Chain A
Amino acid sequence: MFDRPFRTARVRPAGAVLVSLLAALAIAAAPARADMKALVEAATKEASLTWYTAHYNAETAETIGRKFTQLYPGIKVNVIRTTAQVAYQRLSQDIKNKTANCDVFSSTDLGHYATLKPQGKLAKFVPENAAKLAKDYQGLDPDGTFYPTAAFLVLITYNTQKVKPEDVPKKWTDLLDPKFAGKVTVGHPAFSGAVGTWVMTMKKLYGWDYFTKLEKGKPQIGRSIVDTVTMLNSGERAVGAGPSATTLQSMEKGNPLGVVYPEDGVVIIVSPSAVMIDAPHPNAARLFMEFLLGTEHAEVDAKDGNESLRPEVKSVMKGLRPLTEVKVLRPTVEEAQKGIPEVIEQWRDTFGN
C-alpha cells in the first residue's frame, strides 16, 4: 500500500529483555562509571538547564524536571513546555539572534531534527544509556545527534457519556461519519507536532480528501493535542484524535473517557531530544540527556501512560495495550521533514487558519 512501508514497532518479549538487561549490566563497566561521575560534578557546577519540551503535558513535564533535580540535587530544570512548533519557533528565533537559551530541545516533530542537524545546531553526543533503549528505538540518528526519549500514541478518544457503545468509532474513517458532525475535536498541525504527524499519516493512508471530508463535519480545532482531552471532558465534543498518555491519565482520575486503538493503525509519536551545540549548560544538558534515556525517567513516563523506551520498564497504565498486538504507523524522519510543513499549509487552506 505504501511505497515505503511504515516500520512496525514491536516490544520484545520478556526473555529478550532479560538478555539485554544482562548485556547492559555487562557493558556498564567501571570506566563509564567514572565518566558519569565527572559529568555529574561538572553538571552540578552549572546548577541549571533550560529544557524546551513538547513531549508531555505541563504536569508530566514538571514532574520529570523535579525528578531530575531529586536525583541530582543542585541542578534545576527550567521547563518550558509548549507545543512543538512554538518551541521550534522560539528556538529558531534564538538561533537567528545568536542567543543560546536552550540546552535540551525535545520536539514531537521528527523533521525539526532533520533540519537542525545539517545546520550544525545539534551536539554530537553518545550517551551511555543510548545503547540500552529497546531495539525499535535505537539508531534513529546514526550520527548520534538526537535520540528518542519519549513515545506516545495518537488514538481515537471519546466521551463515554456522549457516545453510545454501539456508536464508538473503530477506525479513523469513522470520524468522517455524518453522525459525528459537530462532535469531533482535534489539535492544530501548525502548533502540535503530534497532530502534524497524525495529519501527515492520515494523508498518506487516505489522501487529503480525508481532511476535506473532516472539514465538512466542523471539527473543534485547538492548538495542542492535549486540548482534545479538555474538550471531551467538558462535554464540548464527543470524539477526537487524542494523545494516549494525557487521555489515560484523565480516565484514571475518573473522567468519562475511553480510547480506541483504530483498526487502520495507531500513530506512534516517537519524540527525540537533542543537546544543542551552543547549550549554555553543556554538562547539565548531557546529564539530562542520560537521565531522559534512563530507567528513572522511563518509570515516570510509564506511570503517566506514555510508552516505555526501556525494555526493562513495563507500561503500567490501565488501558494501554502492548504494541505487538496492534497495527502501528510510524513515519520516518525524512517523511516528517518534508511532509509536516506541507500538511500545515494544506490545513490552513482547508480549515481557514
Chain B
Amino acid sequence: MVTKDLESSVPASALKPMRARRFDVLILLWLALAAILAFLVINPLARLLLASLESPDTGAYTLANYVAAYGRPRHLQALWNSMLLGAGVTALCLAFAVPIAWAVSRTNMPAKNLVRLLVMGAFVTPPYLGAVGWILLAGPNSGWINRVWQMLTGASEGVFNIYSFPGLALIIALYSFPYLFIFTTAALDVVSSEMEDAANILGAGTLKTTFKVTLPLVLPAILGGAIVTFLEAIALFGSPALIAIPARFNVVTTQLLQFFSVPVRAEVAAAYALPLLLITVALYWLQQRLVRRKGFVTMTGKGGERRLIELGLGRWLLLGYALIVLSLSVVLPYLVLAQAAFSKAWGRGFSLDNLTLGNFTFLMFEHFTARQSIINSFAYAAAAACLAITLALGIAYIVQRRLVPFAGVLSFLAMAPFVVPGIVLAIAFYAAYAPPPFALYGTATILILAFTTRFLPIGFANASAAMRSINPELEEAVRIQGGGRLASIRYVVAPMMKRSLIGAWLLVFIPATRELSTAMFLYGPDTRPMSVMLLDLSEEGNFERLAALGFMLLAATLLIVVGASLLLGRDFMMRRNAT
C-alpha cells in the first residue's frame, strides 16, 4: 500500500536509478549542515572568546578586558544581583507552577481547560509587556493595587512597590512559570497510579503519597525546568530595563548594555558575558546529570493505569490558588493594559472623556516607523522559523538514522545555543559578523540568522521527537524503488511530519516575534523590530502607547496561534492529545 502511494506521489524523475553516484548524498548534506552550524554556532562563540582576549586597538593578547569587566565593585554587584534574581525567580516559579501542574495533571480540580488556557496566555505574553502591566498595577503611588489599598485603609503609602528587587523577581516569575508548568505536567502525565496505589495500601494519605511518591518521581523534570527558569531569568533584558533602572540596581544584562554605551567596549562586554555562558553550561550539565541519574524506569511508556486523585474541598482550594496566580499573571495586567491602551492618560482612570483610540491611530497612521517595525518582527520571525525548522529537520534525519559517522556532532551543535543567553548571542554575532568582511551589522540577514541560531534547539528537539516516530521502512521503500535519500525525505518524511513540524515552527515563531535581547546591538534604523521599538518608546514612559503596541503584537500572535491550532486540531504546546 505504501508502495502504491509512493508511485502516485513521487514523480518519475525522482525514481531514476543512480548508478553513477559514488557516495551517499547524505555525506554532502552532512557537510553542508556542519558548515552552516559552524557559521551559526561555532564561529560566533569563538569570536566572542577571541574578542574578550584581544586588545581592540592592537589585536594583541591581553587580559585587560577581564580586568575592566570585573575590576569595579559595581560590576560584581550586578553579577551577584543576577544570581539572586535567578534564585528568587526560580523559587517563585516552583511555588506557582508545581501545585498548579499537579492539580491539572493528577487531580479532579474543576475548570482545567480554563487554567490551561490562562497558562498559555502567560506563555505568549512578552515579559516586557507584562512588566508594563505591573508598573500600572503596582507603581508605588499610582498603581491600581496601591490606590485601592490606600482607599480601603486610608494609608498614605502604597502596599507594594514594583520598582524593587522583589518586584522584579515577581514579574519575571509570573511570565516564566509556564516553562516549569510544561516540564512538570509532561512528567506527571506519564506517572502511573500504581505506585501511588501501593503507598495508599500501605496506609499513606493523599498528601503523604504526593510528597513521598509522586513528586519524587517527577523531581528530575522539575529540577530540569527549574534550571531552564533560572537561565531565562538571568538572561532577560526587557523587564530589568523597565524595573531595575528606576529601582536603582543593576543586573548582568543592564550592565552589558552599559558596556555598549559610548565608548563602545564590545570586548569588555564579551569578557563580562563569558562567565554567564560558563554558568549556563555548568547548570545545563548538572541538569543532564540529574535527569540521567534518577532514571525514568517507573515512567516509561503510558501503559500504567492512570486515575485522577479525588479531592473534596481541596479541589476548590487548588482552583482558587491557580486562579490567584493566573490573575496576577494574566487577568489583572491585561485589564489595566486595556484601560491604558484606550486612555488619553491612564492615571485619570475609567471615565468616558478619557476614552480614545488615539494611541492605536498614532501607531498605525502617524508613527512613521511603527508599522515597519511590526512587519519587521513578523517577517524576521517567519524567516527564522523556516530556516530553523529546515535545518532541524535535516540534522534530526541524519542523527536519527545514524547513516553517517559523527552525526552526533551535529546534534550537539544544534543544541548548543540552548545554553547561550540571547544577549550573549547578540554580542557574539556582533563580534563575528558586524565588522567586515561580513559587514552584516544592521541588516535583516544578521537578525534572521541570530534568531535562527537562538531558537534552533527548540526546532531540533521537536523535529527529532517527531522523526523518532517514523518507521525507517517507509523510506526504504522509496530507496528500493530507486529514489534517492533526498526524495525519501521530501516525499515521505516531510509529509508525514507536517503536523509536528507546523507545531515546531510555531514554537520558534512565537518567541522570535518578541525577541528583544538577541536583537540588541544587531539592528539598524530600517531593521528595528517591534521589541526594540517598544523599548525605545518605553524611555518616555508613555504607557498608553506601549500598551496599545503590546496589544497589536499580541493580537497578531494570537491570530496566528489560533489559525495554526485550527489547522492542527490541537493546541500546539501543551498536550499532544487534547482532552
The interface of chain A, by Cβ under 8 A from chain B, is 50, 52, 57-59, 62-63, 65-66, 76-83, 85-86, 88-90, 92-94, 96-99, 101-102, 188, 190-191, 220-224, 226-227, 229-231, 233-237, 253, 255, 348-349, 351-353
Contact = CB atoms under 8 A, between A and B. Distances in A.
Given A226-B540, A253-B345, 13 more contacts: A58-B367, A62-B368, A78-B368, A92-B263, A221-B248, A223-B541, A230-B540, A233-B345, A234-B139, A236-B139, A236-B347, A352-B248, A353-B74
B525 A78 contact: yes
A102 B142 contact: no
A352 B249 contact: yes
B248 A353 contact: yes
B194 interface: no
Contact of B368 (A52, A76, A101, A234): A76
Contacts of A63: 366
Nearest to B524: A101
A89 to B, nearest CB: 5
B505 interface: no
Interface stretch (B7-15, B200-208, B295-303, B431-439): B431-439
A349 B73 CA distance: 10
B176 to A, nearest CB: 23
22 contacts: A66-B366, A76-B368, A78-B526, A79-B368, A80-B369, A80-B528, A82-B536, A82-B539, A85-B262, A92-B263, A97-B435, A97-B439, A101-B526, A190-B258, A223-B538, A227-B541, A235-B347, A236-B141, A236-B142, A352-B249, A353-B74, A353-B244
A62 B367 CA distance: 6
B415 to A, nearest CB: 30
Given A93-B264, A234-B139, A236-B139, A86 B249 contact: no
Contacts of A81: 536
B436 A98 contact: yes
Contacts of A188: 245
A106 B541 CA distance: 21
Given A79-B368, A80-B528, A227-B541, A93 B260 contact: yes
B346 A85 contact: no
Nearest to A52: B525
B539 A234 contact: no
Nearest to A51: B525
B368 A77 contact: yes
A85 B261 contact: yes
Contacts of B369: 78-80
SS class, residues of chain A in contact with chain B? mixed
B99 interface: no
Interface string B296-329: 0000000000000000000000000000000000
B541 A226 contact: yes
B368 A253 contact: no
A93 B537 CA distance: 20
Contacts of A229: 541
Contacts of A94: 441-442, 524
Contacts of A348: 74
B250 interface: yes
Interface string B108-141: 0000000000000000000000000000000111
Contacts of B538: 223
Given A80-B525, A235-B347, A236-B141, A224 B264 contact: no
Given A62-B366, A101-B525, A227 B141 contact: no
Contacts of B345: 233-234, 253, 255
A89 B535 CA distance: 15
B344 interface: yes
B254 interface: yes
Contacts of B491: none
Contact of B140 (A77, A101, A236): A236
B62 interface: no
A158 to B, nearest CB: 14
B362 interface: yes
A220 B543 contact: no
Contacts of A66: 366, 368
Given A190-B261, A236-B140, A236-B142, A221 B540 contact: no
Given A97-B435, A221-B245, A221-B246, A191 B142 contact: no
3 cross-chain pairs, A with B, having the tightest CB-CB distances, nearest first: A234-B347, A227-B541, A230-B541
B542 interface: yes
A121 B257 CA distance: 24
Nearest to B251: A353
A96 B264 contact: yes
A80 B366 CA distance: 14
Contact of A101 (B249, B442, B537): B442
Contact of B539 (A50, A86, A351, A352): A86
Interface in B327-371: 344-347, 362, 366-369
A85 B261 CA distance: 7
B521 interface: yes
A233 B525 contact: no
Contacts of B250: 352-353
Contact of B262 (A92, A237, A255, A352): A92
Contacts of B74: 348-349, 353
Contacts of B258: 190
B96 interface: no
A230 B538 CA distance: 11
Nearest to A215: B248
B364 to A, nearest CB: 12
Interface in B527-551: 528, 536-543, 545
Contact of B245 (A99, A223, A349): A223
Nearest to A226: B540
Contacts of B260: 89, 93
